[in-house]
Chains A and B, each alone.
Chain A
Amino acid sequence: MRKPRRTLITAIAALGALTSVAACGGGSDSAGSGSGSTGGTYTFWDPYPQFDASSAWGKLVAKCGTDAGVTVKRTAYDTTDLGNKALLAAQQGNAPDVMLVDNPVVSTLVEAGILNKTSDLGLDTASIQKNIIGAGTIDGASYGVPIGANTLALYYNKKVLSAAKVDPASVKDWASLTAALKKVRAAGKKGITFSAINTEEGSFQFLPWFWGAGGDLTKLNSAKGVAALTLWKDWVDEGYAPKDVLQNTQTTSWQEFATGEYAFGENGTWQLGNAEKAGFGYGVLSIPAQNGGSAPVPTGGEFVTVPVQKDTGRYDVSKKIVTCLTNSANLLATDTTLAYVAPTAAVQSEQVKADPALKPWIDAVASARGRTSGGLGTKYPVISQPMWTAVQSAVSGAKSPQEALDTAQSAAGKGTS
Chain B
Amino acid sequence: MTTARVGHRPPRSPAARSGAAGTAEEAEARALRRRRRLRSRLTALAFLAPLAVYLGAFYVYPLYRNLDLSLRDYTVRSFVAGDAPFSGWDNFRTVLDDPTFGPALRHTMLFTFVSIAFQYVLGLALAVFFNRHFRLAGTLRALFLIPWLLPLIVSASTWSWMFNSESGVINYALHLVGASPVDWLTSPDWALTSVVIANIWIGIPFNLVILYSGLQNIPAELYEAASLDGASAWQQFRRITFPLLRPVSAITLLLGLVYTLKVFDLIWIMTKGGPDDSSSTLATWSYQLGFGSLLPKFGPGAAVGNILILIALVFGLLYIRVQRRQEA
Contact = CB atoms under 8 A, between A and B. Distances in A.
B274 A246 contact: yes
B57 interface: yes
Contacts of B274: 198, 246, 389, 392, 396
Contacts of B166: 242-244, 256
Nearest to A252: B164
A59 B53 CA distance: 43
B327 to A, nearest CB: 16
Nearest to A245: B186
A313 interface: no
Given A112-B77, A113-B81, A200-B294, A398 B56 contact: no
A17 B187 contact: no
A397 B160 contact: no
Interface in A380-404: 380-382, 384-385, 389, 392-393, 395-399, 404
B15 interface: no
Interface residues of B, number: 46
Interface in A21-35: 21
Interface stretch (B28-36, B42-50, B124-132, B308-316): B42-50
Chain A's interface size range is 35 or more
A17 B52 contact: yes
B45 A399 contact: no
A104 interface: yes
B276 interface: yes
A357 to B, nearest CB: 30
Contact of A392 (B53, B275, B295): B275
A277 interface: no
B293 A242 contact: no
A327 interface: no
A200 B293 contact: yes
B268 to A, nearest CB: 11
Contacts of B57: 17, 21
B76 interface: yes
B185 interface: yes
B80 A84 contact: no
Interface string B85-112: 0000000000000000000000000000
Classify the secondary structure of A's interface with B: helix
A111 B75 contact: yes
A339 interface: no
Interface stretch (A6-14, A136-144, A279-287): A6-14
Nearest to B187: A396
B165 to A, nearest CB: 5
A10 B276 contact: no
B300 to A, nearest CB: 11
B188 interface: yes
B8 A398 contact: no
Interface string A243-261: 1101100000000100000
B187 A108 contact: no
B79 A398 contact: no
Contact of B272 (A17, A197, A381, A396): A197
9 contacts: A21-B56, A83-B296, A104-B294, A111-B295, A200-B294, A244-B165, A381-B293, A393-B188, A397-B188
Interface of A: 1-3, 6, 9-10, 13-14, 16-18, 20-21, 83-84, 87, 90-91, 104-105, 108-109, 111-114, 197-200, 242-244, 246-247, 256, 378, 380-382, 384-385, 389, 392-393, 395-399, 404
> Lowest 5 A-B CB distances belong to which pairs?
A17-B56, A381-B295, A396-B275, A381-B294, A393-B276
Interface of B: 4, 6, 8, 41, 44-45, 48-49, 52-53, 55-57, 60-61, 75-77, 79-82, 160, 164-167, 183, 185-188, 271-278, 291-296
Given A198-B274, A382-B293, A393-B276, 6 more contacts: A16-B53, A21-B57, A198-B272, A199-B272, A244-B165, A381-B295
